């Protein structure tokens, strides 16, 4: 049985946040091995500072050179309440102008795959108190940037890994949004991703 690799990323602190729930969630998967539907997947986690230059210079070594079967980027959207946003699009923006090559302005993820992923997890996530929705707005900051880099790398290098960005709310805004609840929701999603590999 061929073993696969999944990489889950989270971000460091920014603004007034004393904790970034994206990294708190991602790090719970460190060195885990998940068996799902006869597949064995080793999970690796990567931490990224909230800094364009650092992300651009380190993302290839931290992620792409490892030849993963899937990449799950997790980011914080403080405006969300009891909601998980399944991001479908990433945007090249001129103010991010550190990508040298000519790139498309918008890159869409595999819409059939992302729809299936959301629909297959929605019942369990709703039971846990989460709303789930597809989103075309990953923002125009680091969340969008890393998602764009990953999808652009996939297309430019003819790679077949799955790539997905999940926006999560701040932890502890409501009883449903404790860090533990966020972690459990992401665990459901990771298991479903593995089923699709």
Return the CA Rg of the chain: 16
Weakest-pLDDT range from 95-109, 141-155, 181-195: 95-109
Lookup: tokens for 19: 């904790």
Out of 54-63, 72-81, 101-110, which region has the weakest mean confidence (pLDDT)?
101-110
Please report the sign of the dihedral spanned by the C-alpha atoms of residue 163, residue 164, residue 165, residue 169: negative
Residue recorded with tokens 């030849």 = 67
Rounded Cα distance between 70 and 161, Å, is 5
Mean of all residue pLDDT scores within the chain: 91
pLDDT tens across 121-172, in order?
A: 999 999 988 999 999 999 988 999 999 999 999 998 999 999 999 999 999 7
Residue 32's CB is within 10 A of a number of other CB atoms, namely 15
Domain 3-195 has CATH 3.30.230.70: no
| pLDDT tier for residue 105 given thresholds of 50, 70 and 90 | confident
Which pLDDT score, from 0 to 100, does residue 156 have? Answer: 87
What is the per-residue pLDDT across 28-41, written as a single tens digit (0 to 9) for each?
Answer: 999 999 998 888 99
Is the pLDDT at 61 greater than 60? The verdict is yes
Per-residue confidence band for 93, with pLDDT thresholds at 50, 70 and 90: confident
Q: Where are the domains of the chain?
A: 3-195
Which residues lie closer than 8 Å to 100 by C-beta, 6 or more apart?
A: none
Q: Residue 56 and residue 59: Cα distance in Å, rounded?
A: 6
Bridge partners (DSSP) listed for residue 39: 36
The whole-model pTM stands at: 0.94
């Amino acid at each position: 049985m061929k073993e696969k690799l999944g990489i889950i990323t989270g971000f460091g602190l920014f603004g007034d946040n004393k904790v970034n729930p994206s990294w708190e969630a991602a790090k719970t998967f460190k060195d885990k091995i998940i068996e799902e539907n006869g597949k064995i997947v080793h999970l690796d986690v990567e931490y990224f500072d909230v800094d364009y230059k650092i992300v651009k210079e380190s993302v290839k070594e931290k992620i792409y050179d490892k030849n993963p079967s899937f990449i799950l980027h997790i980011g914080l959207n403080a405006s969300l309440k009891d909601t998980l946003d399944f991001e479908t699009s990433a945007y090249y923006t001129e103010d991010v102008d550190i990508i040298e090559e000519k790139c498309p302005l918008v890159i869409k993820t595999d819409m059939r795959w992302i729809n299936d992923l959301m629909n297959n997890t929605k019942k369990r996530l709703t039971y846990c108190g989460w709303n789930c929705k597809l989103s075309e707005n990953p923002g125009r900051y680091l969340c969008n940037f890393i998602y764009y880099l990953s999808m652009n790398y996939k297309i430019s290098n003819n790679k077949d890994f799955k790539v997905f960005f999940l926006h999560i709310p701040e932890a502890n805004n409501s009883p449903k949004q404790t860090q533990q609840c966020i972690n459990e929701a992401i665990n459901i999603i990771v298991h479903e991703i593995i089923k699709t590999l």
